[in-house]
Amino acid sequence: MRRLLAFNHVSVDGYFVDGRGDMSWARANSDDTEWNAFVAANAVGQGPLLFGRVTYDLMAGYWPTPMARHHGSVAESMNSRPKVVFSRTLKEASWANTRLMSGDLCEEVRRMKLEEGEGMTIFGSGIVIAQLAGEGLIDEYQFVLNPIVLGAGRTTFEGVSKRLAMKQTGCRAFTNGNVLLTYVPGD
């Protein structure tokens, strides 16, 4: 059974996007050798990347462009890995190796988790994370706490109506002020 990991940046005040839906602030602290090594190592893998439409549009608008080349292996991984975008409004997905799914999100992910292969990763996509978390379909959460207060925005778990207990399994601080917090569902 495939595992499903959710990876997201969050501000100190708990938002993954600011009040305008922007998350460029998450790249602000990239002048750190240890952080950059972590990002490169974390991008390794062949498992599918899962996105909602909004995050997909942001990623597809950046990673296949010449501007992303300076990210080296991270850009290569983002462009070569299989990608799944969940949307009922998107008509086509043009980013290489992308499959568009418009059916029931939770049912599709349940089916995908039963397939053979490497684990799957959700990047950003707060609506997707909230829906899957509420159904107990996420096996691990990685949050990068960024040293910034946004003042307004959206939370990763917006719309979740029940309590979700988490058990911390890791914590790693970087010199740029980012802190990686890792959790699994727990009591």
What is the DSSP annotation of the chain? ---EEEEEEEETTS-SEETTS--GGGGTT---HHHHHHHHHHT---SPEEEEHHHHHHHHTTTTSGGGGGGTHHHHHHHHS-EEEE-SS-----STTEEEE-S-HHHHHHHHHHSSSS-EEEES-HHHHHHHHHTT---EEEEEEES---SSEE-TTTT--S---EEEEEEEE-TTS-EEEEEEE--
pLDDT at residue number 100 = 95
Instruction: Tell me how far apart the alpha carbons of residues 146 and 143 are, in angstroms, rounded to a whole number.
Output: 9
Instruction: Tell me how far apart the alpha carbons of residues 74 and 76 are, in angstroms, rounded to a whole number.
Output: 5
Instruction: Tell me how far apart the alpha carbons of residues 174 and 140 are, in angstroms, rounded to a whole number.
Output: 21
Cα 160 to Cα 20, 22, 126, 132, 133, distances in angstroms: 21, 22, 11, 10, 8
pTM of the shown model: 0.92
Topology of the domain comprising 4-185: Dihydrofolate Reductase, subunit A (3.40.430)
Instruction: Tell me how far apart the alpha carbons of residues 47 and 82 are, in angstroms, rounded to a whole number.
Output: 7
pLDDT at residue number 128 = 92
Tens digits of pLDDT across the chain (187 residues): 899 999 999 999 999 999 998 888 887 767 788 988 888 888 777 899 999 998 999 889 999 999 888 888 888 889 999 999 999 999 999 999 999 999 899 999 999 999 999 999 998 888 899 999 999 999 999 999 999 999 999 999 988 888 999 999 999 999 999 999 999 998 7
pLDDT at residue number 181 = 98
